[in-house]
Structure 1
Amino acid sequence: MNINSYYNARKTIFEGIRESSTVTKILMSLLMACFTGLMAQIIIPLPWTPVPITAQTFAVLCSGLILGKKYGCLSQILYIILGVACVPWFADMSGGIDVLLGSNCGYFVGFILASYFIGAITDKYADARNFTKMATVIGIANFAIIYIPGLIGLALWTYATQGTMLGISELLIMGLIPFIVGDIVKILSAASISKVFLPKE
Structure 2
Amino acid sequence: MNMDNFYSTRKNVFERIQDASTATKLLMSLMMACLTGIMAQIIIPLPWTPVPITAQTFAVLCSGLFLGKRYGCLSQVLYVVLGVAFIPWFGGMTGGLEALLGSTGGYFIGFIITAYFIGLITEKYAESRSFRKMAVVIGIANFALIYIPGLAGLALWFNLTQGTAIGIVDLLMMGLVPFIVGDIVKILGAASVSKVFLPKD
Counterpart amino acid of residue 162 in structure 2: Q
Partners in 1 of 2:88 and 2:104 — Cα distance?
Answer: 15
Count of residue correspondences: 201
Partners in 1 of 2:163 and 2:57 — Cα distance?
Answer: 29
Q: 1:100 — aligned with what?
A: 100
Q: Residue 115 in 1 paired to residue 108 in 2? A: no
Counterpart amino acid of residue 89 in structure 1: W
SS in 2 for 1:149: helix
**TM-score (normalised: structure 1):** 1.00
Partners in 1 of 2:46 and 2:56 — Cα distance?
Answer: 16
Q: 1:132 — aligned with what?
A: 132
Counterpart amino acid of residue 192 in structure 1: S
Q: 2:199 — aligned with what?
A: 199
SS in 2 for 1:29: helix
Counterpart amino acid of residue 179 in structure 1: F
Partners in 2 of 1:165 and 1:66 — Cα distance?
Answer: 40
Unaligned runs of 5+ in 1: none
Q: CA deviation at 1:65?
A: 0.2
Cα deviation per residue 1:47-105 (whole Å; 9 max; x = unaligned)?
00000000000000000001000000000000001001111100000110000110001
Counterpart amino acid of residue 185 in structure 2: V
Q: CA deviation at 1:176?
A: 0.1
Partners in 2 of 1:152 and 1:8 — Cα distance?
Answer: 44
Q: Percent identity?
A: 72
SS in 1 for 2:111: helix
Q: CA deviation at 1:186?
A: 0.1
Counterpart amino acid of residue 178 in structure 1: P
Q: 1:172 — aligned with what?
A: 172
Q: 2:51 — aligned with what?
A: 51
Q: 2:20 — aligned with what?
A: 20
Q: 1:2 — aligned with what?
A: 2
Partners in 2 of 1:173 and 1:72 — Cα distance?
Answer: 30
Q: 2:184 — aligned with what?
A: 184
Q: CA deviation at 1:2?
A: 1.0
SS in 2 for 1:92: coil
Counterpart amino acid of residue 96 in structure 2: G
Structure 1 runs of 4+ off > 3 angstroms? none
Q: 1:82 — aligned with what?
A: 82
Unaligned runs of 5+ in 2: none
